Amino acid sequence: MLETRKATLFIVATPLGNPADLSPRAAATLADAAVVLAEDTRRTGMLLKACGVTARRLMSSHEHNEEGRVRQVLAWLGEGLDVALVSDAGTPLLADPGYRIVRAAREAGHPVSPVAGPSAVAAALSAAGLAPYPFSFLGFPPRSAGEARELFARFGATGATLVFFERKNRLGDTLAAALAALGDRECVLCREMTKTFEEFLPGKLSEFAGRDLELLGEVTVVVGPGALGRCDEAAARAVLAEEAAAGGKPREAARRAAMRLSGWTVKELYAMLTDREHD
Amino acid sequence: MLETRKATLFIVATPLGNPADLSPRAAATLADAAVVLAEDTRRTGMLLKACGVTARRLMSSHEHNEEGRVRQVLAWLGEGLDVALVSDAGTPLLADPGYRIVRAAREAGHPVSPVAGPSAVAAALSAAGLAPYPFSFLGFPPRSAGEARELFARFGATGATLVFFERKNRLGDTLAAALAALGDRECVLCREMTKTFEEFLPGKLSEFAGRDLELLGEVTVVVGPGALGRCDEAAARAVLAEEAAAGGKPREAARRAAMRLSGWTVKELYAMLTDREHD
């Protein structure tokens, strides 16, 4: 009896801009799949050409036709045909459509397999020079300043590093919303990553907020950890002092402070507090 | 006059387990760099061999000698020598050492450039079949159950999808802490990604919490969005109904609900509320 491999939905990461970042396995998967589903077939067609890969069939799948594609993908997989899903650049789904297709394939019992490769989020965090984790990724923040502020405030409260994408004409306004919600944190604007004009612009949010940054194009923004982040011991001491002043046993004060402080343990704070009390 | 390129610190992503995931540019960068800094030189040596790459000089850089390596890296870069930094697997720094080296190189004015490639975080999110963003990555959660609960509770409050790494002997306990802090969310345990025995185990946190999961080895855990996440419309409607019952104008209720709901805009909630009122 012949054992047949089950048809698989491959989620294939593609380069952020440099064709030499396409892995041999990604190239082989895109060449072998019965269908390659791309956000923009023209863009993916150019990438495949640059990498010397010929797809057997290249079709579009984007947020406006995803619902219909779900049925087709399930039909292809049911017929034993492998399908590869790509986005315009990087790892699909992270801020792109495709989630409904992946979910439907899994629920129908088909294997879904990641062909790991470039991700703008990971690349930016690895090279920005800001504390890389814990971090939260926010996709493209909402266009309304009020809603963007709310989003930044909610994730900012964790004290974590934040990563988001923004388009050139929105960048100054979105950074102004970040400044209003997060205070004047460190940030790095990452543009043209992996390409000839790759650039990392470090600064404080206040240096970029509200300015005309249209020349920068689309960027990946990394915002460093907040005052409650694990890296700022002075902020930890201040919060701890507040909680100690509020009364109760030192361990209780340390516990309450730990609830407010990202990355600081009750034990560390208790030690800090009792050390100080021995001064 | 000869223009000389400034020596660069390359942050090179390497395969999660499948050598065919190393990109041509990553292979070339590792072969060309004067020094390759690896967490574990034996492990990276094996990878390079499997990929047919010969490093000019392979040295260790891990959390216990990072401080000393900082000075050496600055000296090499100062002499015009390119340095490549890798971790055991995936994109360096995301849950690995290396941050101090990157930061010091940037502060000294040397270019730091990411060679984008595999990341377990991105791979897991792209294929797990849970809403992929917004998400927060927590690294390896703390060993103490109380501290792990605090961490999960802090990030859980945003309603976002969560990703973390865990080792086999700690997995059941850490998932129990997640269950206590987050409630019974959906999750997917991702193991051996990109390798022969790749496996995605979907379930609810309660199905895995506290169990002996030692056989699974090291896993990447994806926990789906909470009741306040963007994907659960029923939860959004429930929160909205609460806020509407609390009184005030519909727009105010929508605004208060948006503060509690991740990924739902005031506009969407206002539309939901006023639609309902027309019923």
Instruction: Give the pLDDT confidence of B31-64 residue by residue, as tens digits.
Output: 999 999 999 999 999 999 999 999 999 999 988 8
Residue B126 at interface with chain A, using a CB cutoff of 8 Å: yes
- Tell me which amino acid residue B151 is: L
> For residue B264, what is the nearest residue in chain A, using CA coordinates?
A147
| pLDDT tens by residue, A209-219 | 988 887 777 89
Mode of pairing for the β-strands spanning B161-166 and B219-223: antiparallel
Model confidence at A246: pLDDT above 70: yes
Q: Which of residues 223-252 of B touch A (CB under 8 A)?
A: none
User: Cα separation of B190 and B188, whole Å?
Assistant: 6
Q: CB-based contacts of B86: which residues, under 8 Å, 6+ apart?
A: B12, B13, B14, B30, B36, B37, B38, B39, B44, B92
**Stretch A216-231: mean pLDDT, rounded?**
78
User: Do the Cβ atoms of A232 and A225 come closer than 8 Å?
Assistant: yes
User: Cα separation of B189 and B204, whole Å?
Assistant: 10
| pLDDT tens by residue, A81-97 | 999 999 999 999 988 88
| pLDDT tens by residue, A111-148 | 999 999 999 999 999 999 999 999 999 999 999 988 89
Quote the ipTM score.
0.82
Model confidence at B277: pLDDT above 70: no
Model confidence at B163: pLDDT above 90: yes
Model confidence at B263: pLDDT above 70: no
- Answer whether B157 sits within 8 Å of A160, measured CB to CB: no
User: Which of A180, A123, A112, A95 lies closest to A146 in space, CA to CA?
Assistant: A180
Which tokens is A75 given? 């039909």
Structure-model confidence comparison of residues B83 and B244, the more confident one: B83
pTM of the predicted model, to two decimals? 0.82
User: Which of A275, A270, A231 lies closest to A251 in space, CA to CA?
Assistant: A270
Chain B residues within 8 A of A117 when measuring between CB atoms: 21, 23, 116-118
Model confidence at B21: pLDDT above 70: yes
DSSP 8-state secondary structure symbol assigned to residue A60: E
User: Do the Cβ atoms of A139 and B122 come closer than 8 Å?
Assistant: no
| pLDDT tens by residue, B218-228 | 899 999 998 64
User: Cα separation of B30 and A236, whole Å?
Assistant: 40
Q: CB-based contacts of A186: which residues, under 8 Å, 6+ apart?
A: A130, A202, A203, A204, A205, A223, A224
Chain B residues within 8 A of A113 when measuring between CB atoms: 127, 198
pLDDT band at B279 (very low <50, low <70, confident <90, very high): very low
User: Cα separation of B101 and A241, whole Å?
Assistant: 33
Q: What is the DSSP string of A65-79?
A: THHHHHHHHHHHHHT
Using CB atoms, which residue from A103, A129, A259 is nearest to B112?
A: A129
pLDDT band at B213 (very low <50, low <70, confident <90, very high): confident
Using CB atoms, which residue from A18, A135, A138 is nearest to B137?
A: A135
- Answer whether B112 sits within 8 Å of A103, measured CB to CB: no
Chain A residues within 8 A of B106 when measuring between CB atoms: 129, 200, 202
pLDDT on residue B262: 56
User: Which of A84, A146, A150 lies closest to A112 in space, CA to CA?
Assistant: A84
User: Do the Cβ atoms of A105 and A78 come closer than 8 Å?
Assistant: no
Omega within 30 of 0 (cis) for the link into A134:
yes
Count of A–B CB contacts within 8 Å? 237
> For residue B144, what is the nearest residue in chain A, using CA coordinates?
A265
Using CB atoms, which residue from B94, B151, B202 is nearest to A122?
A: B94
**Stretch A154-170: mean pLDDT, rounded?**
92
User: Do the Cβ atoms of A8 and A111 come closer than 8 Å?
Assistant: yes
